[in-house]
Amino acid sequence: MKFTQYDHCGGVSRTPQVQRHEIEIALTKCNIKPALRAAPRIRSKIAESLVHSGWSGEVSVAVSSQMTITSSRNNIGLCLQTGNMSRLYADMMKLQKLFLDDSIKAGIIIVPMPEAARALGQNIASYSRLTKELTIFRKVVHMPLIVYGFE
């Protein structure tokens, strides 16, 4: 699938090119068309490709907590969100917490582009909404972050 990238607070410069390339390969290799009930398969395909490249499985946000992010590698945290927009705010908070705890030096969020989000369902997290809101909340979510939007 095709993808677009957005740089928030220097996320691109803080994320090694190798990790960016691994994500871009995982997105490119995913050939599942966004459609109703396709989100779990898209998520699984991308996550499987990332794990094959050396990314971890789910990572706990705090000891004795069930909150997790999708993956991490070399101090880069990653959230893959193909669900409801409200879950995206939790992902941003989890990444910001890990950043403030010095557990990660940058974050990555992967979300569908608006058309893909509409194909996946109603009120699904989308690239354009996230990037617009990151501009508004720049002083709240001030960690280096890359947003990838997939089509």
pTM, entire model: 0.96
Q: How far apart are the first and last CA of the chain?
A: 6
Q: Look at the block and give the residue holding tokens 């893959």.
A: 80
Per-residue pLDDT at 88: 93
**Cα distances (angstroms) measured from residue 141 to each of 3, 74, 128:** 23, 21, 16
Per-residue pLDDT at 52: 97
pLDDT at residue 93 greater than cutoff 90: yes
Q: What average pLDDT does the segment 21-50 reach?
A: 97
Per-residue pLDDT at 94: 97
Per-residue pLDDT at 64: 86
Q: What average pLDDT does the segment 55-82 reach?
A: 95
The domains found in the chain, sorted by start residue, are 3-150 (3.40.91.20)
